[in-house]
Amino acid sequence: MKKHAFTLAEVLITLGIIGVVAALTMPSLIGNYQKNVVTTRMKKFYSMINQAALMRTAHEQELNKSMLTAADNPNIMLDFFNTNYAPYITTVKTKTKNKGLAVAFTDGSGVYMWKDYAGGAAYQSTASTYTLFCPVYRDCENIEETKEIGYLLDGKKIFLFWTDGGLPVPGAWDGTRDGLKAECGGKGKNNYACAKLIADDGWQIKDDYPW
Pairing between strand 128-134 and 159-164?
A: antiparallel
Q: Is residue 207 part of a domain?
A: no
159: how many CB neighbours lie within 10 A of its CB?
30
Pair 60, 179: CB distance under 8 Å: no
Residue 24 lies in domain? 9-200
Q: Is residue 98 part of a domain?
A: yes
Instruction: Output the pLDDT for position 119.
Output: 47
The pTM for the full model equals 0.81
pLDDT tens digits for the chain (211 residues)? 555 666 766 667 776 676 666 666 666 656 688 999 999 999 999 999 888 888 887 877 777 777 878 888 999 999 989 998 899 999 999 999 999 999 999 999 999 998 875 444 444 445 567 889 999 999 999 999 988 887 889 999 999 987 655 567 787 566 788 888 888 876 666 788 899 999 999 999 999 998 8
Q: Is residue 208 part of a domain?
A: no
Q: What angle do CA 93, 40, 160 make, to 5 degrees?
A: 65
Q: Is residue 205 part of a domain?
A: no
Instruction: Output the pLDDT for position 53.
Output: 83
Main-chain dihedrals φ then ψ at residue 119, nearest 5 degrees: 100, 5
Supply the DSSP string of 69-100, one letter for each residue: -SSS-HHHHHHHHHHHTGGGS-EEEEEE-SSS
Q: Left, alpha or beta for 110 (phi > 0: left; psi -120 to 50: alpha)?
A: beta
Instruction: Output the pLDDT for position 17.
Output: 72
Task: Note the Cα 39 to chain centre separation in Å.
Answer: 9
Pair 167, 191: CB distance under 8 Å: no
Instruction: Output the pLDDT for position 155.
Output: 92
Q: Is residue 112 part of a domain?
A: yes
**Domain count across the chain:** 1
Q: Is residue 85 part of a domain?
A: yes
User: In angstroms, rounded to a whole number, what is the distance separating the alpha carbons of residues 126 and 70?
Assistant: 10
Instruction: Output the pLDDT for position 192.
Output: 86
Element (H, E) at 186: none
Q: Is residue 3 part of a domain?
A: no
Instruction: Output the pLDDT for position 201.
Output: 94
Q: Is residue 211 part of a domain?
A: no
Task: Note the Cα 186 to chain centre separation in Å.
Answer: 15
Beta strands in 115-199 (DSSP E): 128-134, 159-164, 169-170
Per-residue DSSP letter, 108? S
Work out the burial of residue 177: count CB atoms within 10 Å of its CB; fewer than 13 is exposed, 13-18 middle, 19 or more buried: middle
User: In angstroms, rounded to a whole number, what is the distance separating the alpha carbons of residues 96 and 36?
Assistant: 29
